[in-house]
A and B are shown apart, each in its own frame.
Chain A
Amino acid sequence: MKHYEVEILDAKTKDKLCFLDKVEPNATIGEIKSMFHRSHPQWYPARQSIRLDPKGKSLKDEDVLQHLPVGTTATFYFRDLGAQISWVTVFLTEYTGPLVIYLLFYFRVPFIYAPKYDFTTSKHWVVHLACMCHSFHYVKRLLETLFVHRFSHGTMPLRNIFKNCTYYWGFAAWMAYYINHPLYTPPIYGEQQIRLALIIFLFCQIGNFSIHIALRNLRPPGSKTRKIPYPTKNPFTWIFLLVSCPNYTYELGSWLGFTLMTQCLPVAFFTLVGFMQMTVWAKGKHRSYLKEFRDYPPLRSPILPFVL
């Protein structure tokens, strides 16, 4: 069996960082990353980007050495992706924040509102309902992170956790402040409005969960395969006929429901900003589906049926 020689150069300076000899032809990039890590302990595999071309795309961990367009002496280029943090850690942190922060405002912990309101509860029942919905939403997200989602990437850059937590925690505090405020004004159309809002919210929560389960089932445990999602027996997944990323569609719906329920402008802002970000993600996902699959259903839009 012919062994390969692998040299790894810095993508920017072209310095020789590492030379590996007697590498098995069926070695994967992931294994090469581990070997590289041994000679450079500060660069754990998750922060290594290995490519064939200094400006090219990163190779995947699953790529096999002998199937790459390299000679028996292979040259790879390395870029440091920076400190990495696992997706699971980021999700758990960014979702636990809103859960806890909202409750601080709900229970009117001291130093938020005037002292005479400390530890009092709102007289409006919609405020209690909103707390339950908000908490349910984030508990659902935490459980999905732990038990449902199958992540393609193990890690993301460390700086993302600060950015993401600022966003989630900041908005949660801003919304919670007004909803739980002693001077909160309940929805204009009262019980009708709240009931409709709750129905929309619950419908979309179930829908969003259904999509997460459907996406999970596309992917066998421990794999990173990508397949086109299709409607299943669950009616909540039939929206796949019209939309590539119905999880985002349902998420938008949930927050529209919550906005209607609380009739609170900051909630509307949060919904709007979230929608803008999810649209960007949906368009990206839609584009990569189209690129990867020739037979991708043409009727589908990224996030809003026929519209966006």
Chain B
Amino acid sequence: MPDLQAAVDDFVIKLKRRQVEGSLATAKSTVLLLRQVVSHQRIPSSGPASSLIDAVKSVGSRLIAANPMELAVGNMVRRVLHIIREEEATIVAAQVGVTPVSDSDDDADVHGVPGLSAVALAAANRTALRAPSLHNLLESLPTSAGANVEPVPESDTKSRCKSSDKNSKSWKLKHGVIDAIGLLLGEIENYHSEISEQALEHIHQKQVILTLGRSRSLLHFFREAKKKRSFQVFVAEGAPRYQGHKFAKELAAMELQTTVITDSAVFALISRVNMVIVGAHAVMANGGIVAPVGMHMVALAARRHAVPFVVLTGLHKLCPLYPHNPSVVLNELKSPSQVLDFGEMSDCLDGTDGSPVHVVNPMFDYVPPELISLFITDSGGHNPSYVYRLVAEIYSPEDH
């Protein structure tokens, strides 16, 4: 346990200091840490799932608070919670007659706790109104008529008669969850190759492709397409971090014909481009994306000239939240030294001669779903209006 505590604290500090950067690295570290949490957690025989869920939630909320901008942390925490709930449901389905814990948890929460989050209420409504699933059928059995409101005593009495069953159930749950987390980890690590497999379908011979900044998935994507197609790439430099320069070097090393342009030249050249392909930092539940600054401009230019705007993303970047006020809430302001060198304008910056000059350096842009043509994910190509379905498949609404 103390090792675990130290590992969690260590990761929290790394997140706060932004020492872990990039959604892939953050997602992997989060999942590894949560797997440790799950394996160290002692499981009581009654309510195994809820104890796991509580443990993951408490660690998860610390991690999310450490770096709220890095949405991948929250995504992975919610994925793990969804895995726990699903494993619980499969085990219950295999062992008919045991009161399903998570269902009664929701009901108990709804009746008992005032001021419950609106989304959890909505989730409870959804489960109540859905077609009778296995859970609902079980709760309709006459013996468990009162089970909804009092989960613990019911399962305690049952556990006395079936204690060995319960123990094996919690063991099964824990190991099922750890296996599933291992699968999740594999999925995250391999998303590059899943996406690049689709490259040949989208890039055709002699096409001109435009991109902004740098994206690792895009690098793999191009590498795969290069094997059978010849095409050229325009890379917008992506001021003020100039990641586009680095990307252009990598593409040139792959012997791709690359051209570097300034961000301001995008509109002038977009009419000569067949397709825009970019990576994203995060995908929101309404289908909009959070991308490096300047992306919204490229998307508008692409829409104006009817050029398809394609986004490559792994499912770990898919966030179940809605962007309430995209320009403010989902943005981080980086140091202005990236825009202006130290000392360049120091006389006007501190306001000694009249009013000071402010320098704002936002890191991200929000691109609304109407401007995006296609998402290429590790589960295939999807319309932005389909994103809600993907969210429903990999997350539980109780965890939002």
A and B found bound together:
no
Measured CB to CB, the residues of A under 8 A from B are none
